[in-house]
Structure 1
Amino acid sequence: MFLSVFELYKVGIGPSSSHTMGPMSAAGRFLAEVRDGEWPRPAGVEVAALSASLHGSLAFTGVGHATDRAVILGLDGHEPDNIDPDEIDGILSRIRSTKTVSPSGHPGYRFDPDTDLAFDRKTPLPGHANGMSFSAHDSDGHVLLRRVYYSIGGGFVVTEDELTRLKAETTAEERPSGVPYPFRNAQEMLDMARKSGLSIAQMKRANEETLRGRVELNDELDAIWDAMDGCIERGLRGEGIMPGGLKVKRRARQIHERLLGEWQSNQPNPMIANDWMSVFAMAVNEENASGGRVVTAPTNGAAGVVPAVLKYMLKFHEITDREDVRNFLLTSAAIGGLIKHNASISGAEVGCQGEVGSAAAMAAAGLAEVLGGTPMQVENAAEIALEHHLGMTCDPVGGLVQVPCIERNALGAVKAVTAASLALKGDGTHFVPLDACVETMRQTGIDMNERYKETSQGGLAVNVVEC
């Protein structure tokens, strides 16, 4: 099993990797097939119009998660990793006014967001909670091409056939080839580390270098951290009310200014490290909730945990080497890949245990690695962090990634550091293996009522009065 670090850490826009980035990418894939795909159509008949339908969690929380905006932008040819957030409102205004999308390399297509984009809350698609369909029509409205996609978390998008293959690969017994350390679970990872004498970061690096050279890998890892750090800094400068109607104020800047004052005056504060970690995480998720540029880690909803722990590491430990940051990212991605392969990172599939829980496990593992932990201690750190997120629901108030998501990332970062610290104080032996914890998360997600899986139909979403 091999999932690249750059599949888990992707630059995009907020507020959601599964509900914003994924649908935008799916729309792009559909456009490519409309233009280049080999599909039957009557001679002389051309595509004149497009339509789309959102299902499951995408339908229930799509407006709050900006899924409608993402689909419109995607059908206009924009991609999550290169669109300028400051230009989005102007693009959407133009499309709503002209009722036309104009992707590069295509003729203009008729598309009226008010009538051609449906939120179907009654008809879930069978493959995944985040289902969507796109259709191409001729000038008379007849359907020429229809495709279904699933946004399976972290910005990953698959077709129906691809989803079937993924499920088959998850249960297959044969060992995948192509990388030197194809561990499919944590036990295999530890066995390979023991046999090779390598750390988890070193094994992950060896796998990644089958795809790109060392210099290129380092440059791309540095770019990921620079994007994360830039998001923190933008979040610490942000002010005002976040969009969506809840009227939630951005707090990171105010908290940061207070912490700076304490730092400069040397005021005693036994909670100082936790406070800094929390404000770093909140800065990222306030930026995400405002539709800014973020890095999936492994999702947008959990994007603040890993950057916050990394920033904490650089601020409070004598670690300033870029190589430490790279090893942190490599190790955390190894753990995130195992969780995604054997369970899920999708809040719509398993609740927030799959988002913030996974992020905390990833961050705990990365921190334990760079602080000198053995592979067993790193695995233990990830297990502790994930174990204490088991059963966590995804119940965003108003369908927005604001309450409880922003503070939840702060607490996820604190748990990650605590987990790493506990693991490093032991010898790596522990009662619950990470594999058992991941499987428990998967089973818990299956048992969890759909109301608590990013539908905003249960939990805080129905017990907090929207103001």
Structure 2
Amino acid sequence: MTYINVFEMFKIGIGPSSSHTLGPWKAMLMCLDSIQDHHKLEEVSDIMIELYGSLAKTGKGHGTEKALLLGLMGENPTTIPPESIDKKLKALESGTLLLGNKTPIPYHKESTIIFNKEKALDFHSNGMKVYVNYIDDTTSCFTYYSIGGGFVVEDGTDPENDGKGAPPFPIQSTTEMIRHCKNESLSIWQIAKTNELQIHSEEELTDGLDQIWDVMRNCMFRGCHTDGILPGGLNVKRRANSLYLKRKLTGNYSNSSEWMQVIQSHRVSNFQEIIHWVSAWAIAVNEENADFGRVVTAPTNGAAGVIPAVLAFAIGFTSFSGREEIHRFLLTASVIGSLFKQNATISAAMGGCQAEIGVSSAMAAAGLAELIGGSPDQVCMAAEIAMEHHLGLTCDPVGGLVQVPCIERNSMGAVKAITAAYLAVESDPAFARVSLDDIIETMWDTARDMNTKYKETSEGGLAIKIPVNFPEC
């Protein structure tokens, strides 16, 4: 696999799922481009989409249908105002969909999108086929796979041949990455930055990293200041707001940046209070995610709260609060995430929740270890420790919604990441018996051995223990 850059690991989009919402949305944008390559949008007479595997089984709870329709409309998940989504979808009640925001085609609630729960495509559990009919009575069929973290593969294309070329420092294993660090006397984040600058200009990189943190911080801010019941039918009450209000923060602020500055000024050192803050931040992000809010896949939407919470911990409660430190954290975390992506999976439909919360915790632990003075070996040790204690974690969303137990798991992943980072930096990696490469391979072995019902199907675990009263289950 070619180099996975930081903006591929951290994508800005809409909740609640990177694989079931963002991926299908992007697939439809790809489909619009493919239609233009073969015909014109004006020549389309009708479209039908068939979903398979996990997409079919939990797609309704994950908002897959909404994402597909918005994608067909040509809406951009990075820039669309979340508050406009319901209005755009309500317009479909007329029975017409504006393909690419310009070509009217028929929309039928019961037949435009088919949920085929009895069949899965071979390549990946998150498969979909798009059948396009044209006014000249010809038909096209496009097949896409949402492979986790908002990554999409089109059947018949070569994901290896993306035109980016080889980076200055190819990284396909921890061993290779550490060798680069030692040969060049560079930290992991510096190796990552050198690779990024082959793809992006310095300004694009720094501005992009700033934007990632801005979206993460804004998401925590909104989640901590919003109360109510999450949508979907489980009647899950938001908790981040009450957790936050109990912190009794004093000071004036009008936006998320000023809010974080006020938090910094308090310099909380009480362990219990810090745990409450970290939990509030992580839960806030994933409540926003569950409410179709704007989040950053980190590396997925279901695990989007871990990295922001740990980075906010570093900014709020340590001496690391500058722009450069934030960039160092994100670049380090991104490289660790890419190792899991290349050598295992970040898709819960393929690997269970260990592939989401486990990977995000490993990424966050590595980023924090870098900031608190960890060597490249200690940074990798931090990631290994965090993942080691998520091995085997199943994905069992109740009702197919990214709410129970997903939201709480983000707070657990964040706390484990912080613990792993400090433990690694106080340890000598020379005496470690398990390497990061070992744990990635073990995670993939575990994923392949895991029963399918524990891989984002809502057919096992808590998903069948918790009574619900709506049809998604």
* TM-score interval, normalised by the smaller of the two chains: over 0.9
Query: Structure 2 CA distance, aligned partners of 1:59 and 1:11?
Result: 24
Tell me by how many angstroms 1:321 deviates: 1.1
Which stretch shifts more, 153-162 or 220-229?
A: 153-162
Kindly provide the CA deviation profile for residues 79-111 of structure 1, in whole angstroms up to 9, marking residues without a partner as x.
21121111111111111323333423x522222
Q: Is the 8 Å Cα contact of residues 269 and 317 (structure 2) preserved in structure 1?
A: no
Q: For 2:145, which of 137, 150, 157 is the aligned residue?
A: 150
What's 1:453 paired with? 455
Tell me by how many angstroms 1:261 deviates: 5.6
Q: Is the 8 Å Cα contact of residues 64 and 244 (structure 1) preserved in structure 2?
A: yes
* Amino acid corresponding to residue 33 of structure 1 in structure 2: S
5+ residue gaps, structure 2: 251-262
Kindly provide the CA deviation profile for residues 19-63 of structure 1, in whole angstroms up to 9, marking residues without a partner as x.
001101111111111122379xxxxx9321111111100000000
Q: What is the TM-score normalised by the length of structure 1?
A: 0.93
Query: Structure 1 CA distance, aligned partners of 2:12 and 2:213?
Result: 10
Q: Is the 8 Å Cα contact of residues 396 and 455 (structure 2) preserved in structure 1?
A: yes
5+ residue gaps, structure 1: 40-44, 170-175
Query: Structure 2 CA distance, aligned partners of 1:374 and 1:266?
Result: 26
Query: Structure 2 CA distance, aligned partners of 1:14 and 1:213?
Result: 29
* Amino acid corresponding to residue 216 of structure 1 in structure 2: E
Q: Is the 8 Å Cα contact of residues 61 and 400 (structure 1) preserved in structure 2?
A: yes
Q: Is the 8 Å Cα contact of residues 369 and 422 (structure 2) preserved in structure 1?
A: yes
Q: For 1:186, which of 174, 194, 201 is the aligned residue?
A: 174
- 1:285 and 2:286 matched: yes
What's 2:239 paired with? 251
What's 1:127 paired with? 123
* Amino acid corresponding to residue 152 of structure 1 in structure 2: I
Query: Structure 1 CA distance, aligned partners of 2:23 and 2:204?
Result: 26
Q: 1:2 to 1:268 in 2, by over 3 A?
A: closer
Q: Is the 8 Å Cα contact of residues 51 and 111 (structure 1) preserved in structure 2?
A: no
Q: For 1:78, which of 75, 86, 93 is the aligned residue?
A: 75
What's 1:35 paired with? 36
Kindly provide the CA deviation profile for residues 275-300 of structure 1, in whole angstroms up to 9, marking residues without a partner as x.
11111000000000000000000000
Note the 1:15-414 alignment, pairs <5 A.
15-37=16-38, 46-104=43-101, 106-138=102-134, 144-162=139-157, 165-166=158-159, 178-260=166-248, 269-414=270-415
* Amino acid corresponding to residue 91 of structure 1 in structure 2: K
Q: 1:266 to 1:8 in 2, by over 3 A?
A: closer
Moved over 4 A (4+): 261-269
* Amino acid corresponding to residue 135 of structure 1 in structure 2: Y
SS in 2 for 1:80: coil
Q: Is the 8 Å Cα contact of residues 267 and 317 (structure 2) preserved in structure 1?
A: no
Q: Is the 8 Å Cα contact of residues 267 and 316 (structure 2) preserved in structure 1?
A: no
What's 2:253 paired with? none
Q: Is the 8 Å Cα contact of residues 16 and 62 (structure 2) preserved in structure 1?
A: yes
Query: Structure 2 CA distance, aligned partners of 1:136 and 1:268?
Result: 59
Q: Is the 8 Å Cα contact of residues 54 and 119 (structure 1) preserved in structure 2?
A: yes
Query: Structure 2 CA distance, aligned partners of 1:195 and 1:31?
Result: 46
Tell me by how many angstroms 1:183 deviates: 1.5
What's 1:418 paired with? 419
* Amino acid corresponding to residue 417 of structure 1 in structure 2: I
Q: What is the TM-score normalised by the length of structure 2?
A: 0.92
Report the number of matched residues.
Answer: 452
Tell me by how many angstroms 1:465 deviates: 1.5
Tell me by how many angstroms 1:273 deviates: 1.5
Q: Is the 8 Å Cα contact of residues 219 and 294 (structure 2) preserved in structure 1?
A: yes
What's 1:436 paired with? 438
SS in 2 for 1:287: helix
SS in 2 for 1:18: helix
Q: Is the 8 Å Cα contact of residues 72 and 113 (structure 1) preserved in structure 2?
A: no
SS in 1 for 2:288: helix
Query: Structure 1 CA distance, aligned partners of 2:188 and 2:128?
Result: 37
Tell me by how many angstroms 1:211 deviates: 1.2
Q: Is the 8 Å Cα contact of residues 59 and 119 (structure 1) preserved in structure 2?
A: yes
| RMSD (Å) for aligned C-alpha atoms | 2.2
Query: Structure 2 CA distance, aligned partners of 1:339 and 1:445?
Result: 12
Q: 1:405 to 1:357 in 2, by over 3 A?
A: same
